[in-house]
Structure 1
Amino acid sequence: MEYIYKTKGTCSSKIKFNIENDVITDVEFTGGCNGNLQAIAKLIDGLTVDEIEKKLNGIICGNKSTSCADQLAKAVRCAYEKLNK
């Protein structure tokens, strides 16, 4: 299932990805630091929601209270919970 998450407090404005059961693939960010976000997308491709949360949850960017990586952790959890209602 394709899922789109609108980010909050980051340079990227949205994150699009596929979720099957709890596995995340095909992550794409809109906006943000293109090279870094492409790297994050490749590094987490095929990981589970729990694995992504453990690696990325709580990462901040500069003086912000979040980051694109932190928003991705929130996005995958949100998608997972909507799938399993």
Structure 2
Amino acid sequence: MQHFDYKPRGVCPMRISFDMEGDKVHNVAFQGGCNGNLQAISRVVEGMTVEQIEGYFKGISCGGKGTSCSDQLATAVRMAYEQKKA
């Protein structure tokens, strides 16, 4: 299992951290942001694949920002997965 940290853009959390085993995501944690909602997202995505997370969360916008915490998570896991493959 490999650990990743991602600095999201355009949202409240300062960092998203997670572990990845193959294409499955584990132990998602957000630093900052709406604690209750982000804990829920973290629990929901536990064990999901990168593709599943993208399917559920990619493109969601919050407050007219053009992105959201969940959209940034989808971006983060895709970037990490592609980095692992390289």
Name the amino acid aligned to 1:82: Q
Deviation at 1:3, TM superposition (A): 0.2
Q: Which consecutive segments of 4 or more residues in structure 1 shift more than 4 A?
A: none
What whole-Å deviation, never above 9, does each CA across 1:46-74 have from its counterpart, x for those lacking one?
A: 00000000000000101211000000000
TM-score of the two chains, using structure 2 as the length reference: 0.97
Following superposition of structure 1 onto structure 2, how do residues 6-25 of structure 1 map, counting pairs within 5 Å? 6-25=7-26
How many residue pairs align between the two structures? 85
Distance in structure 2 (CA, Å) of the matches to 1:84 and 1:45: 21
Q: Which residue of 2 aligns with 1:84?
A: 85
**Structure 2 residues without counterparts, runs of 5 or longer:** none
> What one-letter code is carried by the residue in structure 2 that aligns with 1:71?
Q
Q: Which runs of 5+ in 1 are unaligned?
A: none
Q: Which amino acid aligns with 1:42?
A: R
Aligned mates of 1:19, 1:63 — CA distance in 2: 30
- Identity fraction in percent: 51
Q: TM-score, normalised by structure 1?
A: 0.99
2:48 is matched with: 47
Tell me the C-alpha RMSD between the 2 structures.
0.4
Shift of 1:43: 0.3
1:5 is matched by which residue type in structure 2?
Y
Residue 2 of structure 1 aligns to a residue in which SS? Answer: strand
Question: 1:35 corresponds to which residue?
Answer: 36
